[in-house]
Structure 1
Amino acid sequence: MPAQILIIEDNPANMALMVYLLNAFGYGAHSATDGEKGWEAAQQEAFDLILCDVHLPKRDGYEIVRLLKSNPKLQTIPVIAVTALAMVGDREKMLEAGFDSYIGKPIEPTTFVSQIEEFLPPELRTRRLPEGHSAPGTDSASAATVPRELKGATILVVDDTPVNRELIRSTLEPFGCSLLFAENVQQGLQRAQNDRFDLILCDLHMPNEDGFSFIRRLRTNPRLADIPFMFLTASSGRDNDPDEALTLGAARFLRRPIDPQVLVDHIKACLQESDEGEAPPRSD
């Protein structure tokens, strides 16, 4: 069973990013939005790791770590401070208070998971990268491990959610991809008309016009109709969304959360199919 991780964080954007990253790598992410809820959750469920902000409503991080480390049943759980505190002496103060480590904000998606995995025993780690590949964003990623089909590829990402855009950036840029972003269909069309892309990666649910509208409009333009198109969207939606996407000409219909390496593999395959003149529709 993968590690179960409690996140105590009152900032919705930070919480969403950490939950997304942990889920993408197969970990169980549990959330508490204030110190009181975090302390209650820690007593009620068994966690392998706790990520805790310092400045929290009701109980701050210092009180939570003191309570955890003074409880015989909970004191062995690693507790990592995730905070924007960056003054001289803050790190030492947190370690003296009982935190096992410290991760600064803003969170760096390319290194976050590898940072927290240092505090998990090997049997609870869920790294599922195929042999011969390095995790995106790690120092070991070298030219020898970058998939040839990805290096130098230019990808247009159309997504209205900043967290999603950041996760895609941190996943693909280390592999040598060049990314341009659009926050809605209109921006995506402008980008597509002004630049040449090897692939378009698009969310489905966006304000005003959705991803289906985007691909329909692309396919009516002879100059843009042949650009490989992939959907990456949340798991919620209609059961027939994948079938409609493939009918409209999408090469893939992928659902979040998704393991970063799985996303990389699908994009690599899609680009290779395009180069070979093959585009068998698939959904996952």
Structure 2
Amino acid sequence: MREAGAGDSKTLLLIDDDPNLTLLVKDYLEFRGYSVLVANNGQEGLDVLDQTMPDMIICDVMMPELDGYAFVQRVRENPRTNWIPILFLSAKGQSADRVKGLSTGADVYMVKPFEPEELVAQVESSLKAASRLREHPTGRLEEGPTIQVPFDVSLTPTELKVVQLVARGMANREIAEQMNVSQRTIESHVSNMLGKTGLHNRTELSRWAIENNMA
């Protein structure tokens, strides 16, 4: 019997070339109420996206034909799909691998093997964050004039990733856990961005990022 819950009416695209893992993850997610589409590699994943629009993508990194990094880049470059939250599943668990995955454009990086409950928790968290963004179609978190910052502000790749997660409504602690760094490091990045932009708080930073299509 399928377990009803937060997954009802949500469609996930699962991309992995390991048939055993694909079957296990698909069965578990469907049991939790999600509808799951399956692709064996990044190219097949792009073909699926040409036909339908999932609420989230779960993607392996190392795959034939088109690997996870190249797939995510293609998804992020396409205005039609660049909003879709993406979760990377990978056997590569070094800090450099996590940083590369997140910098490429993934929202979450999980290392195999993983606990199914943790996967579901990450999926639900990502879907809630995406839903919060869709509730503000004008790209503004609150009423008010467009945020003004110096025209020559330049963010580092890490700062850009941090501000994207800030704009998704994530706390510094959550961002630190996702990027596998200390909370103090994230606080330092946020402080640096506030200094660069002349903004006063995380709310203004979020609005600025969304209004300038950074998130």
Same fold (TM > 0.5): yes
Residue 193 of structure 1 contacts residue 224 of structure 1 at CA under 8 Å; is this kept in 2? no
Question: Is the aligned partner of 1:200 residue 2:43?
Answer: no
Q: What is the aligned counterpart of 1:255 among 108, 111, 127?
A: 111
Residue 159 of structure 1 contacts residue 165 of structure 1 at CA under 8 Å; is this kept in 2? yes
* 1:203-222 alignment runs, 5 A limit: 203-222=60-79
Q: As a proportion of its length, which structure holds more helix?
A: 2
Amino acid at match of 1:253: Y
Task: Return closer, same or farther for 1:273/1:202 CA change in 2, 3 Å cut-off.
Answer: same
> Bigger radius of gyration, 1 or 2?
1
Distance between the aligned counterparts of 1:239 and 1:246, measured in 2? 11
Question: Is the aligned partner of 1:162 residue 2:162?
Answer: no
Distance between the aligned counterparts of 2:41 and 2:53, measured in 1? 18
SS of the aligned residue for 1:227 comes to coil
Q: Which residue of 2 aligns with 1:173?
A: 30
Q: As a proportion of its length, which structure holds more strand?
A: 1
- Report how far residue 155 of structure 1 moved: 0.4
Uncovered stretches (5+) of structure 2, i.e. residues with no partner: 134-167, 181-215
- Report how far residue 239 of structure 1 moved: 3.6
Distance between the aligned counterparts of 1:237 and 1:265, measured in 2? 19
Distance between the aligned counterparts of 2:39 and 2:65, measured in 1? 14
Amino acid at match of 2:127: L
TM-score, with normalisation over the residues of structure 1?
A: 0.46
Task: Return closer, same or farther for 1:203/1:260 CA change in 2, 3 Å cut-off.
Answer: same
Task: Return closer, same or farther for 1:279/1:198 CA change in 2, 3 Å cut-off.
Answer: farther
* 1:237-276 alignment runs, 5 A limit: 239-276=95-132
* 1:22-171 alignment runs, 5 A limit: 142-143=3-4, 146=5, 148=6, 150-171=7-28
- Report how far residue 249 of structure 1 moved: 2.1
**Identity among equivalent pairs (%):** 33
Residue 43 of structure 2 contacts residue 65 of structure 2 at CA under 8 Å; is this kept in 1? no
Uncovered stretches (5+) of structure 1, i.e. residues with no partner: 1-138
Q: Which residue of 2 aligns with 1:110?
A: none
Superposed CA RMSD: 1.8
- Report how far residue 170 of structure 1 moved: 1.6
TM-score, with normalisation over the residues of structure 2?
A: 0.61
Task: Return closer, same or farther for 1:207/1:238 CA change in 2, 3 Å cut-off.
Answer: farther
